[in-house]
Amino acid sequence: MLNHSDTSNYLPAFISKMEAAGIHPVVIDTFTHYYKQILAGETGLISGREIEPVAADEVEDASRIKRYAAAGKQALNQTVTIKLNGGLGTSMGLTGAKSLLEVKNGATFLEMMLMQAARSEVKLALMNSYSTHDDTMAALAKMKPSEVPLVFLQNKFPKILRKDLSPAAWPQNPTLEWNPPGHGDIYSAIYTSGRLKHLLDKGIAYAFISNSDNLGATMDTALLGYFSEHNFPFMMEVARRTPADVKGGHIARHKDGRLILREAAQCPQDEIDAFQDIHLYGFFNTNNIWINLKVLENLIEKHGVVKLPMIRNPKTLDPRDENSPEVYQVEAAMGAAISLFEGATVIQIPDFRFFPVKKCNDLLAIRSDRFVFSKEKTLSINPAVRYERIEIDLDPTYYGKVDLFNQRFSEQVPSLIECESLKIRGDVRFESGVKIKGRVVIKNSSSKQALVKEGTVIDDNLIFG
């Protein structure tokens, strides 16, 4: 265990580093709050002994609130949609802003977001990161939308060397000395950027926040009406956990009665099995969040910072070099704010409001005929789909990066409207007009690329080589 007397003198060094980088005092205070927790030996872990599961009958279902749609329409002119636009999509081989990835019918995430905002007649705002800001602004300049979105920047925290809790230094690439503080930074970022005051001055009372890669997260007047009519300070959209959701953050109730969000990084290692038990903890956070902006302003001005539960994330300083120094990245989850707002609530939403594109597996589903777009670019599940859910497992060697994926589906992605599961192993390229039905495994053991020819219907396992 570290001796506090050996480490406590590094706080001034962190503060000086952040001041030199022009970091806002509120953000410095937020980091200081977390750093002092680390000095005190806190890990950010939340034990199952401190919480209990949330029962199904405690959670309202969005299917029962349609009567609030009229109230929601009345509140549209008081509402902003905020998209978290800080991701690079490195897990899919992207080097620029993920929101500039072409998703479907030639349109990018960013183009879809602009069209969806125009359709709902609600102001759009983007929280960019330092990594995505220039790309996004250049794309907007080319698009010339009739309504330019509000933009503000995510903050950054200095990385902490694990060996002595001092500021990490990496002269060969100083940008790697910093990390984004997680999407929980949105509350500080919207305040310190002046966007919160700007929105409130314009009469905007409510914000709907979601990830830029979740095209199902559109403005919904029934949800807005339910939120505004009940005067909730904070509302999280949750969904039933499935075997595919075992790693995502789940909702629970703290022993003090508050609702909380527990992320995987906050679960003690000896409790992972219970964390992943979808019958025990039945609801996960979709990261679709509704918040009362005036209540948020009052919270920040009362406490100075939004003290979210800390996530102490162990990493290497250079994520591409496992031999680089070991560091802690201090982060926080946006949904964790549910524990800070008295009267916060959750609501269960249908599947079509949550289908983010995290991997190329998801991209295949979105680009296929399982999903359709209206003229207004609202994404929905094709009503002709035979199976409610689909499992897609593409060989990461040949399909894990977008450029590799595009090469193998260069003509057209297969029809998946009648597919329940698809697993591909090996190098396989698809021509146009291919249909896949039922549960299918496609395998190519050869070093030579296999070809599925135009118009092929696959309703059984297909083995090449």
The one-character DSSP state at 303 is H
Give dist(CA 153, CA 22) in Å, integer: 13
pLDDT of res. 2: 44
Give dist(CA 334, CA 317) in Å, integer: 24
Kindly state whether residues 45 and 14 are assigned to the same domain: yes
Does 196 have pLDDT greater than 90?
yes
Kindly state whether residues 297 and 372 are assigned to the same domain: no
End of a domain among 337, 353, 369?
353
Kindly state whether residues 370 and 307 are assigned to the same domain: no
pLDDT of res. 377: 58
392-408 residue pLDDT tens: 999 999 999 999 999 99
425-464 residue pLDDT tens: 999 999 999 999 999 999 999 999 999 999 999 999 999 9
Mean pLDDT of 124-151: 95
Mean pLDDT of 270-296: 94
Closest by CA to 188, choosing from 223, 146, 153, 213, is: 153
Kindly state whether residues 334 and 427 are assigned to the same domain: no
Confidence of residue 379 (pLDDT cuts 50, 70, 90): confident
- The answer to whether the CB of 296 falls within 8 A of the CB of 302 is no
Mean pLDDT of 328-335: 94
Kindly state whether residues 92 and 220 are assigned to the same domain: yes
Give dist(CA 167, CA 330) in Å, integer: 12
Kindly state whether residues 427 and 294 are assigned to the same domain: no
Does 320 have pLDDT greater than 50?
yes
Mean pLDDT of the chain: 93
Kindly state whether residues 347 and 371 are assigned to the same domain: no
5-48 residue pLDDT tens: 445 579 999 999 999 999 999 999 999 999 999 999 988 899 99
Kindly state whether residues 69 and 91 are assigned to the same domain: yes
Mean pLDDT of 200-205: 98
Kindly state whether residues 309 and 163 are assigned to the same domain: yes
408: domain CATH number is 2.160.10.10
Residue 343 to residues 200, 233, 292, 300, 365: CA-CA distances in angstroms?
Answer: 21, 7, 12, 17, 37
> Is 393 exposed, middle or buried, given 0-12, 13-18 or 19+ CB atoms closer than 10 A?
middle
Kindly state whether residues 281 and 366 are assigned to the same domain: no
Mean pLDDT of 43-72: 94
pLDDT of res. 65: 97
Mean pLDDT of 68-88: 96
pLDDT of res. 3: 43
Query: Hey, is 301 helix, strand or coil?
Result: helix
- In this prediction the pTM is 0.92
End of a domain among 284, 318, 353?
353
pLDDT of res. 304: 80
207-244 residue pLDDT tens: 999 999 998 999 999 999 999 999 999 999 999 998 87
- The answer to whether the CB of 111 falls within 8 A of the CB of 75 is no
Kindly state whether residues 210 and 151 are assigned to the same domain: yes
User: Considering just the CA atoms, what is the radius of gyration of the chain in Å?
Assistant: 23
Does 100 have pLDDT greater than 80?
yes
pLDDT of res. 375: 65
End of a domain among 332, 353, 374?
353
pLDDT of res. 121: 87
Supply the range of the domain harboring residue 279: 4-353
125: domain CATH number is 3.90.550.10
Count the domains in the chain: 2
pLDDT of res. 243: 83
Give dist(CA 122, CA 166) in Å, integer: 45
145-169 residue pLDDT tens: 999 999 999 999 999 999 999 999 9
Kindly state whether residues 406 and 272 are assigned to the same domain: no
pLDDT > 70 fraction of the chain, expressed in percent and rounded = 98
User: Phi and psi (nearest 5°) for 361?
Assistant: -55, -45
